[in-house]
Amino acid sequence: MENKAVLAHFTNAGILDRIVSVTPITTGASGASVLSISTADDEFILKHIDKTSLTDPDMLDSFRREFHFYSKKDVLGLQVLPEIRYLENSQNTIAILMRKYETIPSDKWESDMTGRMVDLLTDVHACPADKLDELGIEFTPRSVPAEQIESAMAEWRSVLAEHNGVFDQMILCDIAYAFHDITAILNAPPHSLNHGDFHAANILLDEGRLLLCDWQNVSAGKGIGELSFFISRLHADGVNIDEEQAIRMYSRMMHEKTGMSLTVQQLKREKAAAAVSTSFLHWANYLHHAEADRVGKVYREMCDAYEQVMRGDYYKGG
């Protein structure tokens, strides 16, 4: 359905009343649309997808995943989810209507918020295993094809070449050679419920309480990988938070909430492996035509993480 038809459908069904304004936030070529809607009484975010006009089948799977996750909201008992006003998965449409909240731009992120961020993340990761069963989520060991590793290395070389010899590319071959061993670290238990895209833009502010939205990539995996991703995103945007403090908080809070003993050393090693994996496979795609300082920051962090993995006694490389 087009946006007008969707709004008419919601109005006629009595789901939305007295609409004052509608502002498109995103409308992708895939057919997904996100609208900010103001009514006389409240503000909402409407995410909807027209199945008949999809060009990307993976988008449909991700929206189905998010719809299913929110439909289990009461069963999960997670207190970090936004208020959902309406869910629909009909023949032609998937729609999620939620309350609109404040967001926290990454450049407004303050160091004293680290504890609140870790508390939010560990609430997710402490979700009991039987709840994952209810969601139909289980950990799938990751296997990265050799072609994907070669493609990622080529992408990084292309990015670094834009800066005329500023960066030493030799370590890329070492990372590619060791990549399967790095992946094995992340495949080792324990694993937990993962948000799948944990960064500042997906954190909402509800009168001082932090909530988490956009669950399209919900899965099971290493919790520390999400903390690693969050920190790397902030660092790339020029926002520094104390990693050592964040990891120690994570270790303590996970023990308090689950009884699980995750040592700081273990978490650092897993974080380093996650940082290498994420940066090597994905970050180069976002760094074409970026300033050398920005490229250098991401590249150095990846290289430093790789060196930390190599120093670990769990490394099994040949």
Tell me the HSE value of 272 on the side-chain side, using a 13 A CA sphere: 22
Looking at residue 311, what is its pLDDT?
83
Q: Are strands 219-221 and 192-194 parallel, antiparallel or unpaired?
A: antiparallel
Question: With contact defined as beta carbons under 8 Å apart, do 212 and 80 qualify?
Answer: yes
Task: Show the domain range for 19.
Answer: 3-100
- Partnered with residue 52 across adjacent β-strands are none
Show which of 100, 128, 148 is a domain's final residue: 100
Flag whether pLDDT at 263 surpasses 80: yes
Show which of 100, 121, 141 is a domain's final residue: 100
* Same domain for 178 and 71: no
HEC per residue, 271-291:
HHHHHHHHHHHHHHHHCCCCC
* Same domain for 125 and 52: no
* Same domain for 162 and 72: no
* Same domain for 159 and 10: no
Asked whether residue 8 is domain-assigned, the answer is yes
* Same domain for 244 and 145: yes
Strand runs labelled E in 195-292: 203-206, 209-212, 219-221
CA distance 309 to 306: 5
CA distance 217 to 196: 5
Q: What is the CATH number of the domain that holds 38?
A: 3.30.200.20
Looking at residue 214, what is its pLDDT?
93
Asked whether residue 228 is domain-assigned, the answer is yes
219-222: long-range pairs with CB below 8 Å, 24+: 219/137, 219/139, 219/194, 220/132, 220/137, 220/138, 220/139, 220/140, 220/191, 220/192, 220/193, 220/194, 221/139, 221/186, 221/191, 221/192, 221/194, 222/186, 222/191, 222/192, 222/194, 222/270, 222/274
* Same domain for 267 and 137: yes
Show which of 79, 100, 121 is a domain's final residue: 100
* Same domain for 56 and 153: no
Looking at residue 2, what is its pLDDT?
67
DSSP letter at 189 equals: S
CA distance 159 to 18: 50
Asked whether residue 317 is domain-assigned, the answer is no
Q: What is the CATH number of the domain that holds 299?
A: 3.90.1200.10
Looking at residue 231, what is its pLDDT?
86
Average of per-residue pLDDT across 98-103:
94
Average of per-residue pLDDT across 293-310:
94
* Same domain for 213 and 180: yes
Residue count (the chain) = 318
How do the residues of the chain divide into helix, strand and coil, expressed in percent and rounded to 5?
55, 15, 30
Identify the sign of the CA torsion 233, 234, 240, 245: negative
Q: State pLDDT tens for residues 190-224.
A: 999 999 999 998 999 998 899 999 999 999 999 99
Flag whether pLDDT at 255 surpasses 70: yes
* Same domain for 42 and 17: yes
Helices (H) and strands (E) in the chain, counts: 11, 10
Q: State pLDDT tens for residues 127-169.
A: 998 999 989 999 999 999 999 999 999 999 999 999 998 999 9
* Same domain for 306 and 289: yes
